[in-house]
Amino acid sequence: MEPTLASAQEVEKPYNGNDIGFTSMLPSHRVDLRQYSEKEYNKFVNMNTVRDWSTLTWKQVGKPYEVTKYSKDRRAYEDTYGEDMKPFTSWKYFNKAFHEWFVKDVPSEMADQKKAFLKSLGTFRPSEIKQALGDVARIQLWNYAHRIQDGVWDPRGKRALFEGLDVTKPRILFLGAAEGYEAMQLASMYPGAHITMVDYDEYCKTTRFEEFPDSYPFLGENPATGHPKVYYKDDLAIDYVVDDIRNLTYGKDFDIVLSVGLLEHFPDEYKSEVADWHRRFLKPGGYAIFTTPRNQIRSRVYYNIMADVMNHTYRELMTLEQMGLYIYENGFDIKQHGYIKVHNGVVAQPR
């Protein structure tokens, strides 16, 4: 299949090489062309803390924390149909709900929610007040986590996890790609890359990826000079395939197979299969990259407060050691690992 380079389309590209070091909060997200200072790097990135993965045991590291509070929509669905929501259905609900958060004009919504809360007080109806208060808490938390901290995309942290791979013009396979953010960041760092994004929820291709802002700058490298360069979605060669990962028939065609927030959605009996998805399509010497949300107090609070609107699927929060051990014991050598603001990351190669 030929790459779909959308460069014929005129899109706004507001930043260039002169804007390296720039950051700004837009209504729905932050743009961040900063590189870490050493002090910030040491604060937000912690790399290669485990010396020898072969010495870790499950007894030492414990098992992941399961988020058991589900969204209102999932609970309503299960009440109506009298059965558990299937994973594919739960992803459809999740992707739609999550996308609606990404496109919000956050400052304007914060003002509206505050007004609605004050109005609800006048009703003296506890359920109305509780609902309005929940809405205020969620939009404030989203503002902090996504817009101020940039914890969801975290471009500086993701760059720290992805740097130093021995690849040239890599073919990248992104499993469970959603809007495709991390593959675009990765491809910007390794120029000449070709990305194949795979997600079985068509909405991810037609809406989450399509509506990902054309003007969002990814900080990468200029292959001619080795200097930093800004890339945009339409500068990158991307195919988006709507299919179940289990149906893919590629050969060992990819230099990098990546997933972000996939492994933690599978209970232990499926973890080997998920690890195998990352091995099956790798060229010899290729890299499998996994990231999953960290098991830390602030992430538990986040998922519990946001559960109503974004926890439709089975979900675990893991420590880096737990994630690494799943990957190690499923036949990978861990080349690089670390944690960033809200995710753990592992770069591995089949043993």
Length of the chain: 351
Q: Which two tokens stand for residue 234?
A: 């339409």
Q: One symbol per residue from 98 to 117: x for binding ligand SAM (CB under 6 A), - otherwise; what is it?
A: x-------------------
CB atoms within 10 A of CB 114: 15
39 CB contacts (<8 Å, ≥6 apart)? none
Stretch of 162-170, 221-229, 257-265, 324-332 contacting ligand SAM, by CB under 6 A: 257-265
Taking the C-alpha atoms of residue 113 and residue 179, their distance in angstroms, rounded to an integer, is 27
- What DSSP string runs through 232-273? -GGGSEEEEEES-GGG----S-EEEEEEES-GGGS-HHHHHH
Question: 3-state DSSP call for residue 68?
Answer: coil
Residue 260 or 323 with smaller CB distance to ligand SAM: 260
Q: Could you say which residues in the range 70-99 bind ligand SAM, by CB under 6 A? A: 91, 95, 98
Taking the C-alpha atoms of residue 228 and residue 184, their distance in angstroms, rounded to an integer, is 15
Sign of the dihedral defined by the CA atoms of residues 74, 76, 81, 82, in that order: positive
Task: In angstroms, give the least distance from the CB of 258 to ligand SAM.
Answer: 11
Task: In angstroms, give the least distance from the CB of 272 to ligand SAM.
Answer: 15
How wide is the angle at C-alpha 146 spanned by C-alphas 305 and 153, nearest 5°?
120
Residue with nearest beta carbon to ligand SAM: 176
Stretch of 21-29, 223-231, 260-268, 332-340 contacting ligand SAM, by CB under 6 A: 260-268
Residue 44 or 212 with smaller CB distance to ligand SAM: 212
Q: One symbol per residue from 129 to 168: x for binding ligand SAM (CB under 6 A), - otherwise; what is it?
A: ----------------------------------------
CB atoms within 10 A of CB 5: 12
**Under the criterion CB under 6 A, does residue 178 sit at the interface with ligand SAM?**
yes
Task: In angstroms, give the least distance from the CB of 241 to ligand SAM.
Answer: 9
Tokens 């558990």 belong to residue: 84
Q: One symbol per residue from 191 to 210: x for binding ligand SAM (CB under 6 A), - otherwise; what is it?
A: -------xxxx--x------
| Binding footprint of ligand SAM on the chain (CB under 6 A) | 91, 95, 98, 176, 178, 198-201, 204, 244-246, 260-262
